């Protein structure tokens, strides 16, 4: 079943709406006009990319996700929402695939539980964009050969080089990274990065280029003064929930 934890605290989404007037949720956005050359394929077997997976749903949606523990993956909340029925999808219809590369894959399973922030509003996603995260408890644990992404304790200041990874709509069969990714701003738990991501990157990881630790989940893209920007929900918004669920999962396995 889908669980919604208690509200965290008031957020500053309105700040981003004023600073980024042209923000588009990737679940319904058209792909960027930038050339596919702006995104390059990477080795899916190398860390941290081996932790990046496809999130496919029976509502014919396709997003990106990231493994953060053997039985826990992260993605965007809007990726597990059915726009047609106006309901969140049942966990069993959410598929998570690791090592996917041109038709082959290393591991595939479904979710057995999905946790979202109860204050995320799929009917008005821009006003709750800093709560656009979902924690997937997986039915099966990923093999020990796949290393989960480490979650950053803090991202530090702006001008942080980053790595933006996802399964782009124009190349859904192969993981790619966006060129020239840099964190340029932060408000509350929402990060703004310079870079050009496209539909399919939703829910995908934003890594620190220095430490390769997970610092956020990509949720939206837009443009300001001719510069391509995107938003990510920082790890501080959901890190404690992941730790709590990881502890429960470990106890259940004992």
Beta-sheet strands, E only, within the chain = 2-3, 23-25, 39-41, 52-57, 62-69, 72-75, 81-82, 87-88, 94-98, 107-116, 134-138, 160-166, 176-178, 181-187, 190-194, 205-208, 214-224, 227-234
What is the pLDDT at residue 249?
65
pLDDT at 57: 94
- Per-residue pLDDT of 177-188, as tens digits, reads 987 899 999 999
Tens-digit pLDDT profile for residues 87-125 = 999 999 999 999 999 989 999 999 999 999 999 999 988
Domain ranges of the chain: 45-148+237-252
Q: Residue 196: its pLDDT value, please?
A: 85
**Look-up: residue for tokens 């932790």?**
51
Q: Residue 17: enclosing H or E segment and its boundaries?
A: helix 13-19
pLDDT at 253: 59
Residue 16, token pair as written in the block: 């981003």
Q: What is the pLDDT of residues 19-35, one digit of tens each?
A: 333 344 443 333 334 44
Residue 132 contacts by C-beta under 8 Å, 6 or more apart in sequence? 76, 77, 78, 120, 125, 217, 219, 220, 233
Confidence at residue 251, expressed as pLDDT on a 0 to 100 scale: 60
CA distances from 90 to 2, 3, 111, 134, 200 (A): 7, 11, 9, 13, 21
DSSP state of 22: S
Q: Which CATH number is associated with domain 45-148+237-252? A: 2.40.10.10
Give average pLDDT by consecutive 10-residue segment, the chain, 254 residues: 39 35 38 56 94 92 96 97 94 97 95 96 91 98 97 82 93 89 92 91 96 96 88 96 80 58
Torsion of CA 100, 101, 105, 107, to 10 degrees: -30
Instruction: Check: CB of residue 181 under 8 Å from CB of residue 164.
Output: yes
């Amino acid at each position: 079943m889908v669980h919604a934890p208690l509200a965290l605290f008031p957020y500053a989404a309105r700040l981003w709406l004023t600073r980024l007037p042209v923000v588009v949720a990737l679940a319904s956005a058209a792909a960027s006009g930038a050339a596919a050359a702006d995104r390059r394929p990477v080795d899916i077997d190398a860390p941290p990319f081996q932790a990046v997976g496809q999130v496919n749903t029976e509502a014919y949606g396709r997003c990106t996700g990231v493994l953060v523990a053997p039985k826990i993956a992260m993605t965007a909340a809007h990726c597990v929402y059915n726009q047609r029925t106006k309901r969140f999808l049942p966990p069993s219809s959410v598929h998570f695939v690791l090592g996917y590369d041109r038709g082959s894959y290393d591991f595939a399973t479904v979710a057995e539980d999905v946790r979202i922030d109860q204050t995320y509003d799929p009917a008005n996603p821009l006003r709750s964009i800093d709560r656009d995260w979902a924690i997937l408890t997986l039915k099966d644990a990923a093999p020990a050969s796949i290393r989960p992404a480490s979650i950053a304790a803090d991202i530090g200041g702006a001008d942080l080089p980053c790595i933006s990874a996802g399964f782009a709509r124009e190349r859904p069969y192969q993981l790619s990274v966006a060129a020239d990714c840099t964190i340029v701003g932060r408000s509350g738990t929402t990060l703004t990065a310079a870079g050009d991501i496209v539909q399919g990157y939703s829910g995908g990881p934003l890594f620190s280029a220095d430490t390769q630790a997970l610092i956020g989940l990509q949720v939206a893209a837009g443009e300001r003064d001719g510069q391509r920007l995107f938003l990510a929900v920082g790890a501080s918004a959901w890190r404690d929930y992941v730790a709590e669920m990881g502890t429960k999962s470990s106890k259940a396995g004992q």
